[in-house]
Amino acid sequence: CSGGVLEVDIVCHIQATSPCLHPHHIREALQMITEQGCDYVFSVVRRHQFRWEEVDKKDDKNPTSPNLNVACRPRRQDWRGELYENGSFYFSTRKAWENGLKQLEKMAYYEMLPEYSVDIDVDIDWPVAEQRVLRFGYFGREEKAVVRLFLCKVSGCLTNGQIFTSVSGEDHVAINARDVAGIQMLQRDNIEVILMTSVNELLSRALLEKVAQLAGCGLRFGEQLDGLEVQWLMKEKKLRWDEVAFMGSESEDREILSQVGLNGVPSDAPVADLIAAKYMCQRPAGNGAVREFAEYILMLKKKSLMPVHQENIDRANF
């Protein structure tokens, strides 16, 4: 640093589409430049895939493989495989970068394990990336709050919103046994579950209380079901916003969804187009969405309670 100007000696391009990159990957790759004299380092992953050259269907020609002898085909797990760029990062010295990477004296690759080599290119990569991040992602040293209270709307979440009326005038609703099991899973893990409904709910109070009884949890009626009502509930239970999870489905739920530490919506929820939900269920309301979100809550709790043996990397630790 001279005259207040920070001189850049090494450039690193990190791609946001590789969410399982850890600080130790960056540190070790950086050391390949600072300690081993490399002027260009890029990340790779080992893959066990047999490649075949493409041929024009109009040509009477057999396809050939550059890495496979068809007469002696090995088991892929016994084969060392090949190295492919995984797109996580690219390091280079400033000099190499200014020369357009045309004169590289010493180039090297940094091999990453497959579980960390997540690359999001198309929409179907998202669910795979989400699961990988939960299991292998980097969460830093900051302590994550553990969910202690789960609030769930009845209509549109625990039920699909349909009301069946009998000849005698009695209303009926259906709840999924998987959703009830999901609620019980949370309760066994010391997470309190409260069903929520507004005074404008079409279902009778007696029927709502019966649903809560079947689900084995509390029931809370609200005037507007806004953030203020939930805030009073949190004050009563001495909780913070980041210790509360909420599942809603309608536009009226937006305020609470945007304030809680963790939110989820069923796949068919109208509010899904109005808010960036932290967890979008694959299942619709009344058909396992609550169970799915409950499993997600428990997975995050398990992840947050695991001992973290990861390094932070910042200017002071370079």
* CATH, domain range 149-305: 3.40.50.1000
Tokens encoding 75: 């088991």
Of the pLDDT bands very low, low, confident and very high (cuts 50, 70, 90), residue 110 is: very high
pLDDT digit string (tens) for 212-221?
A: 888 888 888 8
State yes or no: is 75 an active-site residue.
no
User: Residue 215 in contact with residue 291, Cβ under 8 Å?
Assistant: no
User: Was domain 10-136 assigned CATH 3.90.550.10?
Assistant: yes
Tokens encoding 270: 């109208």
Task: Count CB atoms within 10 A of the CB of residue 253.
Answer: 27
What is the DSSP-derived secondary structure letter of residue 167? Answer: T
CATH 3.90.550.10 maps onto the chain at 10-136
CA 175 and chain centroid, separation: 27
Confidence check: pLDDT of 307 > 90 = no
Specify the pLDDT at position 194.
92
Specify the pLDDT at position 42.
96
User: Residue 108 in contact with residue 30, Cβ under 8 Å?
Assistant: no
pLDDT digit string (tens) for 44-56?
A: 999 998 999 999 8
Tokens encoding 208: 């709502």
3-state secondary structure of 119: coil
Catalytic residue chosen out of the listed positions 51, 73, 135, 240: 73
Of the pLDDT bands very low, low, confident and very high (cuts 50, 70, 90), residue 144 is: low
CATH 3.40.50.1000 maps onto the chain at 149-305
Alpha-carbon separation of residue 271 from 156, 222, 247, 248 (angstroms)? 10, 19, 11, 8
C-alpha 3/C-alpha 248 separation (Å) is 55
More confident residue, 135 or 106: 106
Token pair 């895939």 is found at 49
